[in-house]
Amino acid sequence: MNFRKIIHLLFYYVVPAFLLGSVLYQLSVGSDIYHLVVEYGGNAFLLVVFLLFIKPISVLFSKVSFFRTLLSYRREVGVLAFWFAVFHSVSLFYYLNLFSVQTFFELLQSSALFLTTGLLAFLGMFVLGITSNRLATLKLGKNWKKLQYIVYPTFAFICIHKAQAEGEYGSYVVLAVYTVLKLLQYLKMNKLLFWRQKTGKAL
């Protein structure tokens, strides 16, 4: 079995089975799952950061082949981020009793932005997660690429949600750094295109 297959197996099946097992075990022994599943949210955030940062970094440092190798694992990392986000969101929904309509609206009133950004982040992650497979790519055709753009508002919602959860602004700095990197990526790609059109050669 090659390395890619092992990563695929781990990220698609083994880790989610382990996350589900951990939550169910903690519930069965009557432990508090809150801190465990909040950690899952932190992991989802880090994975999404990796997922998004690797593209501009690999363009800006195009001579470093290691970044290109990492880039080729984006889909697998995305699926892992999806699992962490799903277990974080669904478990906290259960923990906070948000499946009850009354509690849901009560909590929405008291912590509107925090809960709204969490819900929107979950929705975005869910759509991206269920369309991260070959069948969806084939079925959606050109629209698949367009749909992937929802990763940007989703990332913004995750950053706001995290900042609100922790009461600090580190994730806004991450968002700002990402915006600068994307701008630099855009400028470099435009420069390459211009050079190619002018000279007919690659830079």
Tell me: does residue 152 bind ligand HEM (CB under 6 A).
no
What's the closest the beta carbon of residue 41 comes to ligand HEM, in angstroms? 3
Spatial separation of the C-alpha atoms in residues 141 and 143, rounded to whole Å: 5
Considering only 23, 125, 174, 175, the residue that binds ligand HEM (CB under 6 A) is: 125
Spatial separation of the C-alpha atoms in residues 33 and 103, rounded to whole Å: 19
Which CB atom, from 57 or from 160, has the smaller least distance to ligand HEM?
A: 160
- Phi and psi at 201, nearest 5°, equal -120, 160
Which CB atom, from 59 or from 158, has the smaller least distance to ligand HEM?
A: 158
What's the closest the beta carbon of residue 151 comes to ligand HEM, in angstroms? 11
Considering only 19, 23, 33, 44, the residue that binds ligand HEM (CB under 6 A) is: 44
Query: Would you say 84 and 19 are in contact if contact means Cβ atoms under 8 Å apart?
Result: yes
CA distance to 22, 23, 25, 83, 169, per residue, from 32 (Å)? 12, 10, 11, 20, 28
Considering only 79, 89, 174, 178, the residue that binds ligand HEM (CB under 6 A) is: 89
Q: Based on the number of CB atoms within 10 Å of its own CB, is 42 exposed (0-12), middle (13-18) or buried (19 or more)?
A: middle
Please report, as ranges, the residues that interact with ligand HEM according to CB under 6 A. 38, 41-42, 44-45, 48, 85, 88-89, 92-93, 118-119, 121-122, 125, 158, 161-162, 165-166
